[in-house]
A and B are shown apart, each in its own frame.
Chain A
């Protein structure tokens, strides 16, 4: 389109704005831009030829308004193009993608870490005890009397006359106390061994968590408070706990910890054998004989200890009937946890 220098700026603007508004594709708006704002466009020519300031300013204002209108229309059309493309790119969001294989920690490791973390938070250290242990640490130092059934080869796996596969994690208590002065706050978790024929609730190899606190002024109430805290972390804050008298050679007084049944909440069901309570494990105040063995002053220091089976906690919490699953390593089991 060729126009005379004495063009009608207002008409040009009207025409240009209408063309921009009418453009229906990004290609079309590009054509509008070339026609109205390109080097050969009427307005550019007029601007080149203008000589008076007033006309120049007016023309420039027209150019600017056209440019804005064309930019605006172009952005609208580009957005419409994008929207149109995106609507065709729909995927089935319910389709699995895969690509990342994730393994699982063993269930016992998961519980082990939970227990460790509870006690790390309470300011305890975690101690790795030995599994092959002298009878001196496994029995003598723990005040097992001669003739105690646990000392029999019918109950314990012996390596030789004075070496056994530890029957509980407690020897680590003695070794820790031998190595340091109070205060002692430790947990020790690991494998333990007993001559039990494998069945749904027994395994000759199993896992225990051992806790020990020795300090000035440690009380039985501190023990029940600590175990109450742990049990609620493991089985739920709404659980109730109960402690019952018991007997162990290495603690005096000795207790056993119970938690209200998480299945029936105490009403009675097969899991808790209709008692409303589930036995979790033994505990007690460290017997002064143990302090004598390691050279602590029992008048100055007192302490508590507990030793629980991790398999039992796992079975109770996750309700699987046979602990041999934990050794079968079938991925159909592991992948559930």
Chain B
């Protein structure tokens, strides 16, 4: 909401500047997005060049058909000659005049005296847009004839304005009003509240106003007033200027009054052309299925049983609390107005507004919950203004409600405030804060909540907050006093960090990919009933698709050395329960199977795990380059999924880390050094390295500690369908140094086993 300060100051007397007010509000009340300067610059004596003038002569310019040549009294004794292009005034009009020397907004230099078509013009008769009071440039501003010529314009119009652009939190509908903000400013800046001074117009010729409310739970109060003999026309300049500064467009005196009063009290109003209401009647009810209402923006809207309507008993005349109906809109020909000052419950309004995608100044307030007591002062002020500005007569009033809510009474312990805030605030100060905010506090600290806070302040803690927010900038910075401290990462958390760090050390960069995907290999994967898009419809059960997309993104970017991993959750469906959220680590790396295997191998090594992959087939992997482990899979990505040779893997963190030994026991490999031997055997192509190593270890036990394949050779010397596998043997026992004779015996055992099991042929 835009808050013109000159308007706000009508309700609070305070010395603070705009910047000081904004500082206090921003800490203790609501967001102030910015402070905007509008209108004519208040520098030097600039404002003194703006005067009220009276036109004493208005003739056609002798040399130009489109110009008037005027003599204007600006209180100097002698009138000034001014050339003017507008024709919406004549002799006797009271106008706004800019004298030579004034710097107007949007102009590079001050106004000077100069001849226009041969006639000297010693000033400028102003249109509202020329001094930032509006957007109208159809004619010059016409002021009330009661203002004396020569009066400084700044005394009668907000030619210089500062506007706070504020956004209250959703619990503070009361701050969407001048009166509510004035109360905050008075509390925070030691100001004095000025009550709205208004006298309700008398009802001289009463008439019956029929109002029925069929849905009191949605519309707890409906106050209707009838104003007769209304003359709809433009609003006076002061009203147009205020609405403009508050960011609203002037429409007509009657509509402008409803908007003005909404800004004053925060309780929205609506004006109907009563002649358009059947029987001049109002009936509030929920819509019927399939019913339609044409709102005054011209849109035909289909509503249903959840939406609240204002009707005249025969047809809808407004979408309650959100927008009036086109059929009952106030127009130039309206002579009788039914003024609605009602109260609506927030939730229904919010839902209708969301459903229809229609938000208005009115719905924005109703959906936050407006004080039902405000309907009456709003109706009084609006009636007064319509009577004064549109020559109307108040002729009827009805107020339908089933009793207004009582003000809550809450007991406050002032020491409780101190205990929660961590700052001592003297009880007298707490009392003063609450009272300034409109709370009544008894000697025994029973606190009665004002009607405009009754929804929001219902408990002692809410009162504590009222005090806390006012003293917030005095709250010190302390740390909790701890009796015990136990900060630590769990085993799983530490291991996740380790996995990340090992992969980073191995050259992989971490990727973050979306948990919501377009498709998933698991047909039972959880599908969102109402996803944002088809690309984000399913909770993934594998990280692979995201990683392929991430690699592809990098290929397109022309990056080299692509190696990516992700450590994130997948969501495994469980019948009738929340899904099982499992941590997985997945990777994709240029370089095919070997690159993936290398990464998974180093990961196992870092975690002190045996790595024993076995051949497998998976639809997304190269059929000859795919392996399974206890924790997942690794392999070469099927080339149909992404061009090039890509190593990929995905391992379940729980499965992967479960076998990690709790502690590692020392093994003496230092006292008696190992004896090393290499052998090479020729075996059939299909014999796997792991089988050879397993057989060697089994046959070489206990002296053989380690057997490791270090070379595989294929070629003419070993023949078609065969390969030569070189194995490094390391022999060691804990209690003595082995001799060459020992080694020969073990080696013979190993070779014999390989010959027998794999038909191996010892080379060399």
Using a CB–CB distance below 8 Å, which chain A residues touch chain B?
A: 101-106, 108-109, 113, 116, 119-126, 128, 130-134, 146-147, 149, 152-154, 157-160, 163, 183, 185, 191, 195, 197, 204-205, 213, 215, 217-222, 224-226, 228-229, 241-247, 252-255, 273-274, 285, 287-288, 302, 326-332, 334-335
Contacts and interface: CB of A to CB of B under 8 A. Distances in A.
Interface of B: 26-31, 34, 169-172, 346-347, 350-351, 354, 419-423, 459, 461-462, 464-465, 468-469, 472-473, 475-490, 492-493, 497, 500, 503-516, 526, 528-532, 536, 539, 550, 553-554, 557, 559, 561-565, 568-569, 571, 578-579, 581
B349 to A, nearest CB: 10
A225 B172 contact: no
A142 to B, nearest CB: 15
B578 A132 contact: yes
Contacts of B507: 101-103
Report, nearest first, the 9 A-B pairs whose CB atoms are least far apart: A219-B422, A221-B422, A123-B485, A101-B507, A147-B347, A247-B169, A225-B477, A253-B465, A245-B469
Q: Which of A116, A222, A244 counts the most chain B CB atoms within 10 A?
A: A244
A222 B550 CA distance: 43
B578 A219 contact: no
A335 B27 contact: no
A108 B512 CA distance: 9
A191 B515 CA distance: 9
Contacts of B510: 103-106, 109, 334
Contact of B464 (A213, A224, A253, A255): A253
Given A125-B487, A131-B569, A330-B553, A146 B462 contact: no
Given A122-B487, A221-B422, A247 B171 contact: yes
A123 B504 contact: no
B516 A205 contact: yes
Contact of A330 (B461, B490, B554): B554
Nearest to A299: B416
B419 A302 contact: yes
Contact of B27 (A125, A149, A244, A334): A244
A328 B531 contact: no
B358 to A, nearest CB: 13
* A interface: dominant SS: mixed
B483 to A, nearest CB: 7
B559 A330 contact: yes
Contacts of B27: 242-245
Nearest to A245: B469
B475 A101 contact: no
Given A105-B504, A330-B557, A334-B509, A126 B493 contact: yes
Nearest to A328: B553
A147 B346 contact: yes
A198 to B, nearest CB: 9
B514 A157 contact: no
Contact of A243 (B472, B513, B530, B579): B472
B477 A221 contact: yes
A146 B350 CA distance: 11
B354 A131 contact: no
B478 A225 contact: yes
A184 to B, nearest CB: 11
Given A152-B354, A191-B515, A219-B423, 13 more contacts: A104-B510, A120-B487, A132-B571, A149-B350, A185-B485, A191-B569, A221-B477, A222-B480, A225-B478, A229-B477, A229-B479, A242-B473, A253-B421
A132 B581 contact: yes
Contacts of B469: 245, 253
A146 B348 CA distance: 11
16 contacts: A120-B488, A122-B487, A124-B487, A131-B515, A131-B571, A131-B581, A159-B539, A191-B515, A217-B480, A219-B420, A221-B423, A222-B480, A242-B27, A245-B28, A247-B171, A330-B557
Contacts of B503: 103
Nearest to B505: A102
B421 A221 contact: yes
Given A131-B515, A131-B569, A132-B526, A331 B487 contact: no
A202 to B, nearest CB: 12
Contacts of A132: 526, 539, 571, 578-579, 581
B172 A204 contact: no
Q: Which of A124, A197, A219 counts the most chain B CB atoms within 10 A?
A: A219
A224 to B, nearest CB: 5
A103 B506 contact: yes
B468 A220 contact: yes
B564 A329 contact: yes
B454 to A, nearest CB: 15
A175 B222 CA distance: 45
Contacts of A335: 509
Contacts of B568: 191
B468 A253 contact: yes
B722 to A, nearest CB: 36
B561 to A, nearest CB: 6
Contacts of B31: 244
Nearest to A252: B461
B513 A329 contact: yes
A247 B475 CA distance: 18
A105 B564 CA distance: 10
Contacts of A124: 487
A7 B742 CA distance: 63
A128 B511 contact: no
B20 to A, nearest CB: 15
Contact of B578 (A116, A163, A241): A163
A204 B515 CA distance: 11
A132 B572 CA distance: 11
Contacts of B553: 328-330
A67 to B, nearest CB: 39
Given A125-B486, A221-B421, A288-B459, A331 B554 contact: yes
Contacts of B564: 329, 331
Contacts of B462: 252
A106 B476 contact: no
B530 A255 contact: no
A104 B564 CA distance: 9
Nearest to A146: B347
A160 B488 CA distance: 36
Nearest to A248: B169
Contacts of B486: 123, 125, 185
Contacts of A253: 420-421, 461, 464-465, 468-469
A130 B497 CA distance: 19
A204 B512 contact: no
A159 B538 CA distance: 10
B420 A326 contact: no
A266 B441 CA distance: 40
A108 to B, nearest CB: 6
Given A123-B485, A221-B477, A332-B559, A106 B472 contact: no
Nearest to B504: A103
A228 B476 CA distance: 11
A11 B462 CA distance: 112
Contacts of B500: 105, 109
Contacts of B554: 329-331
B487 A222 contact: no
Contacts of B468: 220, 245, 253
A157 B459 contact: no
Nearest to B579: A132
B171 A221 contact: no
Nearest to B489: A126
A128 B26 CA distance: 35
A332 B557 contact: yes
B487 A220 contact: no
B512 A326 contact: yes
Contacts of B350: 147, 149
Contact of A153 (B490, B526, B530): B530
Contacts of A221: 421-423, 475-478
B682 to A, nearest CB: 35
Nearest to A225: B477
